[in-house]
Chain A
């Protein structure tokens, strides 16, 4: 599984990255978590508000912060 956190360094983007890590720990799963910060790569997904979460190439949500619990349900 490949998880991408899209966002160019805003506070919420950092929090989302942390929450993804927590969600993985909660679920007892392992995955590659990448911060995607450059605009062209973010735009490739059609995302216009950050932070956004992409799991295996699919946009799960954008423009909001999700809790570790919520993310766990998406893994």
Chain B
């Protein structure tokens, strides 16, 4: 599928620079040129199409769909809608209040809050581009599962009184979402894509750069001992390391891909990716506006445990 990019990378490294791909420098440069082009091609086209799909699912409509849904059905629908509803942690507070105030059960709300940042198009594109579509599909499947199960668990714990009290007193109005025209949808998708690319491109390039360096210079099997499948501490460590890396999700995957080539196990990779996207400190700070400490800690704890289980599972079976 990307053979023309491979040829272009060959052309740059072999012909123009006269380097051998078997050398450290040649190998690293080839990886950098090929992967940068491939990732940006994937990013710009897929983000654009995802953005168009999202224009049909404003949060106000998603809220109405999920309102008064029962356990299980509600959790599954919330996790799925989390993929297509545009979400930014900066509006997590109005989103959360809007959901619970219009009768979306707490557990269902959490299924949405977990799936929405975790199963996002940037993570999927990068996983697809760097690990292949199988890993990307496994990530979607297990990500949805984590969101559904964690939401059900949190719902069962009946923690409604651990939501900040003022939340229950707010009266939420109902807004009619105007149907958009096709030109408005395209304009939204165009602005969204360019805005997002402008924001993440340095991280992606730096990530691919570091990945290329590791690829070319770090010895094979270097990480087998620490991050291989036989080390039981690799998964929890990957989850802990993933939490502070939120803003750099786009830059992390190329590095991780290079680490995998040096012996990091795939379950550990999945757990790491999920921790990077689903558990973030800025989001915790924002959510502390609506959640009391107990519920916030429960949310992080349940999700972290679910992610680690995914990590161990795939280290066992793959």
Contact = CB atoms under 8 A, between A and B. Distances in A.
B90 A48 contact: no
A62 B173 contact: no
A65 B3 CA distance: 39
A43 B90 contact: no
B91 A45 contact: no
Given A39-B97, A63-B58, A64-B188, A46 B174 contact: yes
A28 interface: no
A46 B91 CA distance: 13
A40 B93 CA distance: 11
B86 A46 contact: no
A49 B173 contact: no
A42 interface: yes
A63 B173 contact: no
B171 A63 contact: no
A45 B173 contact: yes
Contact of A39 (B88, B94, B174): B94
A43 B175 contact: no
A56 to B, nearest CB: 15
B172 A44 contact: yes
Interface residues of B, number: 25
A50 B91 contact: yes
A10 interface: yes
B59 interface: yes
Interface string A53-64: 000000101111
B171 A48 contact: no
B16 to A, nearest CB: 40
B6 interface: no
A72 B101 CA distance: 34
Interface in B58-94: 58-60, 63, 86, 88, 90-91, 93-94
A43 B299 CA distance: 24
Contacts of A65: 191
B94 A42 contact: yes
Contacts of B174: 46
Contacts of B318: none
B93 A8 contact: yes
B175 A45 contact: yes
B188 A47 contact: no
A39 B173 CA distance: 12
B98 interface: yes
Interface in B3-39: none
Given A10-B90, A64-B188, A49 B95 contact: yes
A10 B286 CA distance: 13
B177 to A, nearest CB: 8
25 contacts: A10-B90, A39-B93, A39-B94, A39-B97, A40-B166, A40-B170, A43-B98, A43-B101, A43-B170, A44-B173, A46-B173, A46-B174, A46-B175, A47-B60, A48-B59, A48-B63, A49-B58, A49-B94, A50-B91, A59-B175, A61-B178, A62-B60, A62-B175, A63-B59, A64-B191
Given A39-B97, A44-B171, A65-B191, 15 more contacts: A39-B289, A40-B170, A43-B172, A44-B170, A46-B98, A46-B173, A48-B91, A49-B91, A49-B95, A50-B91, A59-B175, A62-B60, A62-B175, A63-B59, A63-B86
Interface of B: 58-60, 63, 86, 88, 90-91, 93-95, 97-98, 101, 166, 170-175, 178, 188, 191, 289
The 9 A-B residue pairs with the shortest CB-CB distance, nearest first, are A46-B175, A46-B173, A48-B98, A48-B59, A49-B91, A59-B175, A43-B172, A40-B170, A48-B94
